[in-house]
Amino acid sequence: MNSVHEGGCLCGAIRYRVTGEPALSQVCHCTYCQRRTGSAFAIVVAFEEDQVEVLGTTLTQYEHRSDESHRWIRSHFCSRCGTTVLVTLERNPGVRVVSGGTFDDPGWFKINRHIWTRSAHDWIVFPPDVDTYEQGYVKLPRN
Ligand SMILES: [Zn+2]
Ligand SMILES: [Zn+2]
């Protein structure tokens, strides 16, 4: 039996449902995530696209080019309240990254990795039981 978890944006116009376990669940300290969230880091929970079903209004998207790789990263957000619900990446076709804080139960998955720690704020203290990476970590089980 696959587990089902739901979430959505702040105003409720966008809802989604994911089935099964995430391929990755990590905290990202990259400068893109810092700016797009306006915060210190993003909670990045990655699924295969067929695990994610978006319900409700269509998401609006914004395409950003990475400073380093020059590949695109797209934020998919609610045009009404501005919550970024999903992110997709050119380098990971077929993967949907869910913004971890938008789950109705934002604690159902376990964070086991922190990435792009080279741009982490200097007050961040990493838990002892997580792996840390100076740069990205994009290897998915199917690769
Ligand atoms: Zn909304
Ligand atoms: Zn990031």
- The string of pLDDT tens digits covering residues 110-125 is 998 999 999 999 999 9
Residue 25 CA, ligand 1 centroid: distance in Å: 23
d(CA 103, CA 123): 26
Residue 1 CA, ligand 2 centroid: distance in Å: 31
Q: Which ligand is nearest to the CA of 40?
A: 2
3-state SS track over the chain: CCCEEEEECCCCCEEEEEECCCCEEEEECCHHHHHHHCCCCEEEEEEEHHHEEEEECCCEEEEEECCCCCCEEEEEECCCCCCEEEEEECCCCCEEEEEHHHECCCCCCCCCEEECHHHCCCCCCCCCCCEECCCCCCCCCCC
Q: Which ligand is nearest to the CA of 35?
A: 2
- The string of pLDDT tens digits covering residues 61-78 is 999 998 888 899 999 999
Q: Which ligand is nearest to the CA of 77?
A: 1
Domains in the chain, start-ordered, CATH in brackets?
Answer: 4-57+93-129 (3.90.1590.10)
Q: Which parts of the chain register pLDDT below 70? A: 1, 138-143
Phi and psi of 109, rounded to 5°? -105, 160
pLDDT of residue 136: 82
Residue 22 CA, ligand 1 centroid: distance in Å: 23
d(CA 125, CA 143): 31
**pTM assigned to the model:** 0.91
pLDDT of residue 9: 97
Residue 19 CA, ligand 1 centroid: distance in Å: 22
d(CA 9, CA 5): 14
Q: Which ligand is nearest to the CA of 114?
A: 2
pLDDT of residue 143: 43
pLDDT of residue 67: 81
Quick one: which of 135, 59, 143, 44 has its CA closest to 97? 44
